[in-house]
Amino acid sequence: MTGSDYSALCKQSPDKAYKTLFDEYCNYVYAVVTSKLRSCGTREDIEECVSDIFAEIYTKYDVDDNYDGDMRGYIAVIAKRRAIRRFHTLTQQGLTVSLDDENAPEVADDRDAEAEEKQAMLARLLLEKVKSLGEPDSSIVIQKYFYNRSSAEIAKLLGMNPAGVRMRCRRAISRLKTIIDIKDLEM
């Protein structure tokens, strides 16, 4: 469903537009939420998060925006952000301790700041090397490996055919292997 399709349906009958949007994207949103919450949430948490996502879409989408693209990207962003917020809420429950309590246990930070910083630096370096491939190769690699899009989806975005996208992706990855210096990765 495109944004203009949804806007037109909303102007005719908001209830029908909501139902159509829900029917089309419910399984997708449910899959996104389940992938984020399966380790910490119950089935009820997942269903509540899915409901919150659709409520946010219904209330925040501007039907007068005249957006003609597919709504899947918009819905994906809202779903991922809402699911991540719910994940943080669920994993942080029960860890709140009053600072005034003298008998409160010490809460250790189990994150390794140095390893996280190294990981972030590697990610920046990799993104820099990918961007150095030039267009459309950098866009193809980013869409494929950062956004998990299929060759058909990338082809549609870039106005290419899927076979061309696959070939350019293989060549771009080969070039990327030659321009990434192993010394850069050994920090």
Last residue of a domain, one of 92, 123, 148: 92
State the average pLDDT over residues 30-55: 88
Same domain, residue pair 78 and 136: no
Phi, psi (degrees; rounded to nearest 5) at 88: -65, -40
Quick check: is 80 in a domain? Answer: yes
Same domain, residue pair 76 and 128: no
Report the C-alpha gap between 137 and 118 in whole angstroms. Answer: 26
Q: DSSP class of residue 40?
A: T
Quick check: is 21 in a domain? Answer: yes
Quick check: is 99 in a domain? Answer: no
pLDDT at 103 over 60: no
Same domain, residue pair 84 and 50: yes
Q: Can you give the pLDDT at residue 49?
A: 92
> Of all residues in the chain, what percent carry a pLDDT higher than 90?
9
Report the C-alpha gap between 79 and 62 in whole angstroms. Answer: 17
Same domain, residue pair 120 and 172: yes
pLDDT at 83 over 50: yes
Report the C-alpha gap between 81 and 91 in whole angstroms. Answer: 15
Split into its structural domains, the chain has a count of 2
Domain that holds residue 178: 113-185
**What tens digit of pLDDT does each residue of 67-78 get?**
677 788 888 888
Quick check: is 169 in a domain? Answer: yes
State the average pLDDT over residues 13-37: 88
**What tens digit of pLDDT does each residue of 104-156 get?**
445 445 556 677 777 777 778 887 888 888 888 888 888 887 777 888 888 88
Q: What is the pTM of this model?
A: 0.48
Find out whether 78 and 51 touch, Cβ atoms under 8 Å. Answer: no
